Amino acid sequence: MILQETFKLSNGVEIPKLGLGTWFIDDDKVADAVKEAVKIGYRHIDTAQAYQNERGVGEGVRNAGVKREDLFVQNKLAAEIKSYDEAVKAIDESLEKMGLEYFDLMIIHSPKPWQDFLGDEKFFEGNLEAWRALEDAYKAGKLKAIGVSNFEQEDLQNLIDNGTVKPMVNQILAHISNVPTELIKFCEDNDILVEAYSPIGHGELFKNEEVKAMADKYNVSVPQLGIRFDLQLGLLPLPKTANPDHMKNNAELDFEISDADMETLKNMKKIEDYGEASMFPVYAK
């Protein structure tokens, strides 16, 4: 059963192969979502400072009815934080807000502040500052593992060349029709696990007739197909939902996509418009 399986990070920490994303789940509703997910068998919960639901996620984790060490909680340092002191403060504030002594993983949410995401400025120095704060928190035991999100090869290389701890994870947009193959290979070559957010293309895959036909062929839902696709690429999917039925369905993955169908799904026409989500920089690039 996928919920009991793990990947091993480069530092030996085990990370559950399927996570629950909590983006867009309100702070006052997310504790219940976390508790339901844990009841179903999820052990990996993903949040971010930017989601404004850390308090609720922390409440859900603390009241989930399982030991803290049996859960894997990951958080993200706000994309705007590009100085050491601010990052140190933000890490401690998040731990306090969530009522937790440590995070299993903390990652830099983006190499660039969101308002500059599509600009030319690289923020290499600022990323090294934020990274140094994560390294220090990791060495102090506040973080069991550290990584990044939305980082391209040059952003990763900057940390690999100039940091003291190599990133263990890169969380990126990767789904049927949108597979950044070169970036994934670079991460694999550097022992960096790739997490895949929006495995259902922020809902856009529901509109794709070819994807629906492929799901029907395997007698599964579109989300199941999308999540299984990411897993077969060696990625860790983070489907987001507050609905217990969807959580359950997302984890029922005991089927295998054939090699030929994987190629078809990889090479489908890329989503050009993510609808309302196109206002978010990661879907606009």
Q: Return the active site residues.
A: 51
Please give the Cα distance from 96 to 248 (Å, whole number): 31
The two structure tokens encoding residue 214:
């492929």
- If DSSP codes are grouped into helix, strand and coil, which group holds residue 58? helix
Q: Residues for the chain: how many in total?
A: 285
E strand or H helix that includes residue 90: helix 84-98
Please give the Cα distance from 18 to 29 (Å, whole number): 21
The two structure tokens encoding residue 107:
């990652």
Please give the Cα distance from 155 to 84 (Å, whole number): 17
For 110, phi and psi rounded to 5 degrees? -160, 150
Please give the Cα distance from 185 to 222 (Å, whole number): 26
Please give the Cα distance from 155 to 82 (Å, whole number): 13
